[in-house]
Structure 1
Amino acid sequence: MNGSIMRCPCGSDKKYIDCCSRYLDKEETAPTAEALMRSRYTAYTLDREDYLLATWCATTRPASLGLDNGPRSKWLGLEVKRHDSPVPDQAVVEFIARYKVNGRAHRLHEISRFVRKAGRWLYVEGEIL
Structure 2
Amino acid sequence: MSFHKLPKDDTQHQNHLDGAIKLLGLDLQEESEKAGLDNHLQRWIEDLKDANNPELHQLVIDLQELKAHFNSGGFDKDVVGTLLARLGENTTKAAIFSENPNTAERITKLGETLTATAAQVK
Give the structure with the larger strand fraction.
1
More helix by percentage: 2
In the superposition, the TM-score normalised over structure 2's length comes to 0.32
> What TM-score do you get using the length of structure 1 for normalisation?
0.31
Q: Which has the higher contact order (CA 8 A, sep 6+)?
A: 2
